[in-house]
């Protein structure tokens, strides 16, 4: 994945669904969600366990299909095996980008999403990429 593609995705993205959100401040998903909110993105936590609750001031949903309105990017904090199902859900809701976090590598999910017209970024973290690329959303 080249820097220009990452820069383009992060510059055009406004609304992010964060799949695998956690209410535990020591979890990477919590820190990334807080960082993205601080950068001005709208971040929607997705976690069946947290559905209906508030996380960092945002209402959590059980699944991508439950989120009202358009989602630009689906940021995946689930294991690699779960990425296939998340990719299917991301396609179903018409998301533009499937972002698989550091260590989440699933080539089949990436192919599925790309074939559906999505941009796919894999094994990267926006909390790292935004400052590295000097992006201001």
Distance CA 34, CA 22 (A): 11
pLDDT tens per residue, range 68-77: 999 999 999 9
Q: What is the pLDDT of residue 1?
A: 75
pTM for the complete prediction? 0.96
Comparing C-alpha atoms, which of 31, 64, 32 is closest to residue 47?
64
Residue 36's pLDDT is what?
98
Ranges of the chain whose pLDDT falls below 50: none
């Amino acid at each position: 994945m080249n820097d220009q593609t990452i820069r383009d995705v992060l510059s055009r993205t406004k609304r992010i669904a964060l799949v695998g959100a956690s209410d535990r401040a020591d979890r990477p998903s919590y820190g990334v969600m807080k960082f993205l909110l601080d950068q001005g993105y709208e971040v929607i936590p997705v976690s069946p366990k947290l559905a209906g609750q508030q996380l960092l001031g945002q209402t959590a949903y059980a699944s991508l299909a439950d989120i009202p309105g358009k989602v630009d990017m689906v940021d995946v904090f689930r294991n690699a095996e779960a990425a296939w199902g998340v990719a299917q859900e991301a396609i179903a809701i018409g998301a533009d980008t499937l972002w698989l976090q550091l260590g989440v590598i699933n080539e089949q999910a990436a192919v599925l999403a790309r074939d559906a017209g999505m941009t796919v970024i894999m094994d990267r973290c926006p909390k790292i990429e935004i400052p590295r690329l000097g992006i201001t959303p």
